[in-house]
Amino acid sequence: MNHADHVSLLQAAELSPGGIWADLGAGTGAFTLALRDLVGPDAVIYAVDKDGRSLTELRGAYERRFDDTSNLHILHAKFQAVMGLPQLDGVLMANSLHFFKDKAAVLSQVRGLLKPGGMLLLVEYNVDTGNPWVPYPLSFRTFKSVATAAGFEEPRLVASHPSSFLREFYSAAATAP
Protein backbone atom coordinates (compact mmCIF):
# COMPACT_ATOMS: atom_id res chain seq x y z
CA MET A 1 0.00 0.00 0.00
CA ASN A 2 1.10 3.53 -0.68
CA HIS A 3 0.20 6.93 0.77
CA ALA A 4 -2.84 7.35 -1.50
CA ASP A 5 -4.15 3.97 -0.29
CA HIS A 6 -3.68 4.99 3.34
CA VAL A 7 -5.54 8.25 2.74
CA SER A 8 -8.36 6.49 0.91
CA LEU A 9 -8.90 4.09 3.81
CA LEU A 10 -9.45 7.07 6.14
CA GLN A 11 -11.00 9.65 3.82
CA ALA A 12 -14.57 8.37 3.75
CA ALA A 13 -14.74 8.85 7.54
CA GLU A 14 -15.23 12.55 6.70
CA LEU A 15 -12.93 13.86 9.41
CA SER A 16 -13.37 17.45 10.55
CA PRO A 17 -10.32 19.68 10.18
CA GLY A 18 -8.29 20.42 13.29
CA GLY A 19 -8.82 18.82 16.66
CA ILE A 20 -6.60 16.75 18.88
CA TRP A 21 -5.81 13.22 17.70
CA ALA A 22 -3.66 10.31 18.82
CA ASP A 23 -2.27 7.60 16.56
CA LEU A 24 -1.87 4.62 18.90
CA GLY A 25 0.73 2.22 17.58
CA ALA A 26 1.90 4.77 15.02
CA GLY A 27 4.98 2.83 13.88
CA THR A 28 6.85 4.66 11.12
CA GLY A 29 3.83 6.87 10.50
CA ALA A 30 2.22 5.72 7.27
CA PHE A 31 -1.25 6.36 8.67
CA THR A 32 -0.12 9.33 10.78
CA LEU A 33 0.81 11.10 7.53
CA ALA A 34 -2.55 10.16 5.98
CA LEU A 35 -4.37 11.44 9.06
CA ARG A 36 -2.48 14.74 8.91
CA ASP A 37 -3.42 15.13 5.23
CA LEU A 38 -7.08 14.78 6.20
CA VAL A 39 -7.28 16.83 9.42
CA GLY A 40 -4.95 19.58 8.22
CA PRO A 41 -2.17 21.72 9.69
CA ASP A 42 -4.19 23.01 12.66
CA ALA A 43 -4.70 19.53 14.13
CA VAL A 44 -2.53 18.34 16.98
CA ILE A 45 -1.40 14.74 16.60
CA TYR A 46 0.14 12.55 19.29
CA ALA A 47 2.05 9.68 17.66
CA VAL A 48 2.47 6.88 20.21
CA ASP A 49 4.61 3.79 19.76
CA LYS A 50 6.91 1.60 21.84
CA ASP A 51 9.55 1.51 19.07
CA GLY A 52 11.79 4.57 19.30
CA ARG A 53 13.45 3.95 15.92
CA SER A 54 10.08 3.87 14.18
CA LEU A 55 9.13 7.15 15.84
CA THR A 56 12.38 8.75 14.68
CA GLU A 57 11.55 7.65 11.14
CA LEU A 58 8.01 8.98 11.55
CA ARG A 59 9.28 12.41 12.68
CA GLY A 60 11.60 12.63 9.66
CA ALA A 61 8.88 11.62 7.19
CA TYR A 62 6.44 14.08 8.77
CA GLU A 63 8.94 16.94 8.59
CA ARG A 64 9.84 16.17 4.96
CA ARG A 65 6.19 16.02 3.95
CA PHE A 66 4.82 18.97 5.93
CA ASP A 67 7.89 21.14 6.72
CA ASP A 68 6.68 21.59 10.28
CA THR A 69 6.43 19.30 13.27
CA SER A 70 5.13 21.85 15.78
CA ASN A 71 1.73 20.11 16.02
CA LEU A 72 3.21 16.61 16.14
CA HIS A 73 3.98 15.15 19.57
CA ILE A 74 6.03 11.97 19.64
CA LEU A 75 5.43 9.70 22.63
CA HIS A 76 7.76 6.74 23.07
CA ALA A 77 5.51 4.46 25.13
CA LYS A 78 3.27 1.44 25.01
CA PHE A 79 -0.04 2.99 24.08
CA GLN A 80 -2.00 1.06 26.67
CA ALA A 81 0.15 2.82 29.31
CA VAL A 82 -0.16 6.35 27.92
CA MET A 83 -1.24 8.89 30.47
CA GLY A 84 -1.41 12.65 30.50
CA LEU A 85 -2.98 13.10 27.08
CA PRO A 86 -5.64 15.77 26.78
CA GLN A 87 -9.16 14.64 25.97
CA LEU A 88 -9.03 13.66 22.31
CA ASP A 89 -11.30 14.41 19.36
CA GLY A 90 -10.09 11.24 17.72
CA VAL A 91 -7.94 8.15 18.03
CA LEU A 92 -6.47 6.30 15.08
CA MET A 93 -5.49 2.66 15.53
CA ALA A 94 -4.05 1.31 12.29
CA ASN A 95 -2.85 -2.28 12.45
CA SER A 96 -2.26 -2.10 16.19
CA LEU A 97 -5.34 -3.61 17.85
CA HIS A 98 -4.52 -7.04 16.40
CA PHE A 99 -1.64 -7.37 18.87
CA PHE A 100 -4.05 -7.56 21.84
CA LYS A 101 -6.07 -10.59 22.79
CA ASP A 102 -8.35 -8.64 25.17
CA LYS A 103 -9.67 -6.10 22.69
CA ALA A 104 -12.59 -5.05 24.90
CA ALA A 105 -10.20 -3.85 27.62
CA VAL A 106 -8.09 -1.91 25.12
CA LEU A 107 -11.15 -0.35 23.47
CA SER A 108 -12.60 0.64 26.85
CA GLN A 109 -9.32 2.40 27.64
CA VAL A 110 -9.37 4.14 24.25
CA ARG A 111 -12.99 5.26 24.80
CA GLY A 112 -11.81 6.87 28.05
CA LEU A 113 -9.32 9.01 26.09
CA LEU A 114 -12.03 10.46 23.85
CA LYS A 115 -14.24 13.49 24.36
CA PRO A 116 -17.96 12.76 24.14
CA GLY A 117 -18.63 12.40 20.42
CA GLY A 118 -14.95 11.63 19.76
CA MET A 119 -14.10 9.15 17.03
CA LEU A 120 -12.16 5.93 17.02
CA LEU A 121 -10.86 5.25 13.53
CA LEU A 122 -9.67 1.66 13.13
CA VAL A 123 -7.72 0.02 10.29
CA GLU A 124 -7.49 -3.76 10.52
CA TYR A 125 -7.37 -6.98 8.55
CA ASN A 126 -10.88 -8.23 7.85
CA VAL A 127 -10.33 -11.72 9.27
CA ASP A 128 -10.69 -13.37 12.65
CA THR A 129 -7.85 -15.89 12.38
CA GLY A 130 -4.30 -14.69 12.81
CA ASN A 131 -0.74 -15.83 12.33
CA PRO A 132 2.57 -15.12 14.13
CA TRP A 133 2.80 -11.59 12.65
CA VAL A 134 -0.87 -10.64 13.12
CA PRO A 135 -1.82 -12.69 16.17
CA TYR A 136 -5.35 -11.46 16.94
CA PRO A 137 -6.99 -9.77 13.95
CA LEU A 138 -10.67 -8.94 14.02
CA SER A 139 -13.11 -8.73 11.18
CA PHE A 140 -15.44 -5.77 10.89
CA ARG A 141 -18.27 -7.98 12.13
CA THR A 142 -16.27 -8.83 15.27
CA PHE A 143 -15.17 -5.22 15.73
CA LYS A 144 -18.82 -4.09 15.74
CA SER A 145 -19.58 -6.47 18.57
CA VAL A 146 -16.47 -5.73 20.65
CA ALA A 147 -16.69 -1.95 20.16
CA THR A 148 -20.32 -1.74 21.27
CA ALA A 149 -19.51 -3.96 24.28
CA ALA A 150 -16.70 -1.50 25.13
CA GLY A 151 -19.19 1.38 25.15
CA PHE A 152 -18.91 2.81 21.65
CA GLU A 153 -21.91 3.66 19.54
CA GLU A 154 -22.57 1.34 16.58
CA PRO A 155 -19.43 1.29 14.38
CA ARG A 156 -19.69 1.90 10.66
CA LEU A 157 -17.58 0.52 7.86
CA VAL A 158 -15.63 3.33 6.21
CA ALA A 159 -13.66 1.63 3.41
CA SER A 160 -11.83 -1.53 2.41
CA HIS A 161 -8.71 -2.32 0.41
CA PRO A 162 -7.32 -5.64 -0.87
CA SER A 163 -4.39 -7.15 0.99
CA SER A 164 -2.07 -9.79 -0.40
CA PHE A 165 -1.24 -10.80 3.16
CA LEU A 166 -4.61 -11.50 4.82
CA ARG A 167 -7.25 -10.89 2.13
CA GLU A 168 -8.47 -7.38 2.95
CA PHE A 169 -7.97 -4.30 5.09
CA TYR A 170 -10.95 -2.33 6.32
CA SER A 171 -11.38 0.94 8.11
CA ALA A 172 -14.19 1.58 10.54
CA ALA A 173 -15.34 4.48 12.67
CA ALA A 174 -16.94 4.30 16.09
CA THR A 175 -18.07 7.21 18.24
CA ALA A 176 -17.78 7.63 21.98
CA PRO A 177 -21.13 8.50 23.57
Quick check: 169 and 160 in contact, CB under 8 A? Answer: yes
Q: What is the pTM of this model?
A: 0.94
Task: Output the pLDDT for position 83.
Answer: 73
* SS3 category, 146: helix
Instruction: Give the domains, in start order, of the chain with CATH numbers.
Output: 3-175 (3.40.50.150)
Least confident of 1-5, 40-44, 70-74: 1-5
Residue 166 predicted with pLDDT over 80: no
Task: Name the helix (H) or strand (E) containing 3.
Answer: helix 3-11
Average pLDDT over residues 81-85: 79
Q: What percent of the chain has pLDDT over 90?
A: 80
115-129 as b/e: b if 16+ CB within 10 A: eeebbbbbbbbbbee
Q: What is the pLDDT of residues 8-27, one digit of tens each?
A: 999 999 999 999 999 999 99
Task: Output the pLDDT for position 131.
Answer: 82
Least confident of 6-15, 79-88, 132-141, 167-176: 79-88
Q: What is the pLDDT of residues 103-145, one digit of tens each?
A: 999 999 999 999 999 999 999 999 898 888 989 899 999 999 9
